[in-house]
Amino acid sequence: MMQKSWRITIILFPILMIVLSMFLRHELLNVIKSHQTWLLNFYSKLKMNSDEQQPYNCHWSFVNYTPNSWENMWYDNIGTFQTNVCEQLSNDENLNKTILMIQLITMLQKSGRYDTSIEQLQIDNIFSTMFYRYECINPRTLRTSKIIEVSHSIEPLIGLLRDPFSICSRLHTSIVPLSLYDGANLQSKRSILLSVSAPFYTHSILSDSKYLNDLSVISDDDNNNNNNVLPWMYQRLSHTNIDKEIHIRNPKVILLDLGSSYFNGWKSDTTAAAGQWLYEYYKRFNVKFDRIIAFEFSLLDQEIVWKELPDDVFPIYTFINVGVTENGKFNPWTMLKTIAQPFDHIIVKLDIDTTVLENVLINQILTDPSIHTLIDELLFEHHVTINEMMPYWGNMGHSLKGSLEDSYILFTKLRQLGIRAHSWP
């Protein structure tokens, strides 16, 4: 009986071991699978947390230029209007808007974008808009998120593209306040709204934007003297350049004055002073120039040039008493690309009274991204054939080409590139 029992045990033992082995193997596999699942889940969560913690590449970019309905009306009809601009300005609708535009810009030039007496409805009805977007891009997934959009006001392209009360004879004195004719000289700059004083509005903040709910992306550090230079006016990148992060908080502010004349004016005409006007405009909003480079073709008295400069301008002023050129070392864009970076705030004023060369330089801006991506504000007097301006531009003779309609097209193109382009008087 014992032998039989042992025989059965001997026979069953291997079978039991096989069964036990299979059972243990199955349980082990379950444990391993379970741990694999847990490990994968853990890794996945860890990876997600890592992605969340991984710094995004964030930058401002220009979105588009949007003219308001008033500008659109002028743009669509300028081919007809350009033969009688002052007459068109004198109709009640245009005149009332023109009065309000000059009043608003005058206030903004003096007190800036935080003037509480100016209503947003007035801004929306009168001014056109430059749109900008703040984007954060995950460098691994290239997923874009956390977006702020802002609109930044700019004067509309209407009329003669200059202060209408300085050129057109008195328009409906019963409607126009007489005070608007004070300072309405040929060189009036009351139609120019620069970015440092122009109102801006935040349009959208994504709800999941924890990082951007802090609007420090809009206002600069307290230690930045140039805190009225808004970040999209020096931190812009193109949509294709997403592998860089621009977070420069203290841009250099550089003025390139082409056709500078003297700092305080030309031939005792202080209203023609570009350098002084721009210096005082920016200083009013606590923005200091880091460098001013002035080109002038006409031979100037060097002693007067340097004596006229304010004390804080003297050390940062470079005067080149040579005319600008299409190419070579005196081409202003060659110099600009050498001294400026995309994260600087660059202002260019171009008025050299040489139509052919002016047009060449402007075309270089339009066609060369390495130039136009550097320029934030452009002030340019486009000399074309306009009846109302012939008494002042007639000495340019046959060099005048184009029409007021061409000026509208040109300034629109410049603004569509992201340049705040203004018509200079």
Q: What is the percentage of the chain residues whose pLDDT exceeds 90?
A: 56
CA distance 422 to 425: 10
Summarize the confidence of residues 76-83 as an average pLDDT. Answer: 95
pLDDT of residue 142: 76
Q: What is the mean pLDDT of the chain?
A: 83
Nearest in space to 378 (alpha carbons), one of 418, 405, 342, 408: 418
Tell me if 190 sits within 8 A of 202, measured CB to CB: no
User: Quick check: 28 pLDDT over 60?
Assistant: no
120 vs 349, which has greater pLDDT?
A: 349
Summarize the confidence of residues 222-238 as an average pLDDT. Answer: 72
Nearest in space to 217 (alpha carbons), one of 237, 238, 200, 232: 232
Q: What is the percentage of the chain residues whose pLDDT exceeds 70?
A: 76
Structure tokens of 206?
């994504």
CA distance 180 to 166: 10
Residue reference for tokens 């705030």: 345
Q: What is the pTM of this model?
A: 0.82
Q: Which of 48-57, 140-149, 200-209 has the highest mean pLDDT?
A: 140-149
Residue-wise pLDDT tens digits, 286-301: 999 999 999 999 999 9
Which of 71-75, 254-258, 352-356, 373-377 is predicted least confidently?
352-356
145 vs 88, which has greater pLDDT?
A: 88
Tell me if 59 sits within 8 A of 135, measured CB to CB: yes
pLDDT of residue 46: 34
Round to the nearest angstrom and report the end-to-end CA distance of the chain.
125
Residue-wise pLDDT tens digits, 318-351: 999 999 999 999 999 999 999 999 889 999 999 9
User: Quick check: 398 pLDDT over 80?
Assistant: no
Tell me if 287 sits within 8 A of 376, measured CB to CB: no
Summarize the confidence of residues 71-86 as an average pLDDT. Answer: 96
pLDDT of residue 30: 53
User: Quick check: 173 pLDDT over 90?
Assistant: no
221 vs 252, which has greater pLDDT?
A: 252
The packing angle between helices 274-284 and 92-111, to 10°, is 70
Bridge-based pairing of strands 200-205 and 253-258 is unpaired
CA distance 198 to 194: 6
